[in-house]
Amino acid sequence: MTDDLAKKLSTTGAFDTPWLKEQLQNWDVKAEQRKADFMEHMYQCSARTNGLYTGLWQDFCLKEAGPAMRDEYYNRLQFIEDFKNGKIPLQQQELLTTP
């Protein structure tokens, strides 16, 4: 927390300041809820029971997202190679004509 922010929050009536009103106007409730839901998903998948959320993103990247994206990368490379070698034929699409 910055010193400026601490001063704003420690003043009387800080919850009715123009600064806070501006922050709340830009608040995207749906996006913030999605973040919280995903953090909870990561916590549940981690099998933790200690209530600590520290390091969840790193664990997710290493154990779930990383391996999935690595596999997807190689799947795409294989698709390109198969296409170049004719194993995946190019489909002809009919041209649409207007009467």
pLDDT digits (tens, 9 = 90+) for 32-77: 999 999 999 999 989 999 999 999 999 999 999 999 999 999 999 9
Amino acid at 18: P
pLDDT tops 80 at residue 97: no
State pTM to two decimals.
Answer: 0.53
Token look-up 């995903």 returns 38
What radius of gyration, in Å, describes the C-alpha atoms of the chain? 25
Q: For 2-21, write each residue's pLDDT tens digit.
A: 677 666 666 556 566 777 77
d(CA 92, CA 59): 45
43 CB-near residues (< 8 Å, 6+ apart): 53, 56
